Chain A
């Protein structure tokens, strides 16, 4: 995908496929991110798309960032009280685990249809609110489980010390525990963000193709139709889209390794 993004249009569909572009160029990227009309004429020799606003392609990227971010924040906001009570009161702990496993086993597309119907009744299709809520629906169970793990790592005695020092249960949460959870909270938020970012089904389902809300996959689908298969720009967009996921993976690999090996030491 990366190499395709650097190829000329002729090479996009050449057969046999070439691995490396003969003349790598960033035309595809410029097409994507820059004023569209101008470059299109230089690629094909004629103007196909009227010069749209230059940031037409950037919008999906921004939209995606905003939406994934909002979704992550909402999810974490809801997850914190839930995981706090689960961690401290232990009720429903087993049920939660079961529920999460079942939930993750169901293909998202299956859940999508009823969700779309539900949302369209509420007129939430193609809205920022709708997308955010949609993201939350799919990521909340996992977020709760994640966060609960972090809560569990804090000994209950800290709670009790805060209680005997004069806190109400709620105060225990935000005065004593949250400062200790900064790491856990950031990790969870980031994790949910990435999940949202890569969530194709939701992004296709809840959004109209040329509606108010644009997300990357939707836009990419649009790129397929306009003037033949624009694989170059598509690959360029894809490459851009993959960067956050890649970066995240690099960032947490240290913890993944630690996670794998710490189990071995026992």
Chain B
């Protein structure tokens, strides 16, 4: 249970900047996710916290102790690898006991602790098996137990669920949450799967190309993304984006998207001087208007059934707009629909970042 502070953390591989001036505070006891696409620097960051990579510049503080120059073993962290990295040719017992043996704990005490952890992680029946014989979720539990048994201040996980199929994923998700709750452990995990992050984490830190974009709760990130990238990355299906231009008229200020015109006069002051913007609206906030004023008209191009709902892909000139309808809703390809945008749930992004309105 410890606080993690990253200050100005930078890592360069030759000329390639993997992590750029990362500033992040992770409060004690939280379950945080480093989320981002492949290559965004999240794993590198994790490894730097673990002590496996040396930062080019910057500081890492665990519980206000500067660990930047300390080797892994002096940092009190635990790292669970994506591939679990269990010691092959050793029994589960030996794997779990490894950290304790290195710390020169007595065999008797060691035995007790291993048994305890084995029970907690439901591994007591495979204690004497060699790791090669275990199933995937068992392996992960061994990896977790092996790390937790050394009582780390911070638990680091590298893509914990990516190796597992859907069924196991759900199981392990529950498991991790339980650990977090019971032990009040500070957990930092890295993933590229936004669903994983959204469902498990208390706080999400979204990264792209080495930079931290937003660090907030899942709800906030979903509802108030502070950048186009974040808005696009989170949410399945992804947010709809429509290009538009800011125009000033006597009547007020409008966003002109060619096929639609939106009155944004009340936000006039928020807009900087540029004129190109992107309107973002999530599929669930696009409604089919049978009556009343519609913002756009579009033609159904694709229907994707999704169990209780259907996703309609509608063509609007050169963009596609998605929206949800209940499964029973009658519609067919080529049908023209009138759609309205939920005014309270629109996002407007500058072409490069995000000025947002909710």
| Residues in A lying within 8 Å of B, measured CB to CB | 155, 157-158, 160-168, 171, 175-176, 179-180
Contact = CB atoms under 8 A, between A and B. Distances in A.
Contacts of B81: 157, 160-161
A199 to B, nearest CB: 34
Given A160-B81, A176-B87, A180-B88, A165 B51 contact: no
A165 B52 contact: no
Contacts of A171: 102
A26 B89 CA distance: 49
Contact of B150 (A163, A166, A179): A166
B184 interface: no
Contacts of A168: 71, 73
Given A163-B72, A166-B99, 15 more contacts: A158-B88, A160-B52, A161-B86, A162-B102, A163-B51, A163-B71, A163-B73, A164-B51, A165-B78, A165-B99, A165-B146, A167-B73, A167-B102, A176-B98, A179-B90
B79 A160 contact: yes
Query: What DSSP secondary structure best describes chain A's contact surface?
Result: helix
Contacts of B71: 163, 168
A211 B176 CA distance: 72
Contacts of A166: 72-73, 99, 102-103, 150
B50 interface: yes
Contacts of A160: 50, 52, 79, 81, 85
B89 A180 contact: yes
A161 B79 contact: yes
Interface of B: 50-52, 71-73, 77-79, 81, 83, 85-90, 98-99, 101-103, 146-147, 150
Q: Chain B CB within 10 Å — which of A164, A165, A166, A179 has the most?
A: A164
Given A160-B52, A160-B79, A175-B102, A165 B85 contact: no
B102 A161 contact: no
B85 A161 contact: yes
B73 A158 contact: no
B87 A164 contact: no
Contacts of A165: 73, 78, 98-99, 102, 146-147, 150
A193 B88 CA distance: 29
Nearest to A168: B73
Q: Nearest 8 pairs between A and B by C-beta?
A: A157-B85, A165-B99, A161-B85, A164-B79, A166-B102, A166-B73, A163-B72, A164-B72
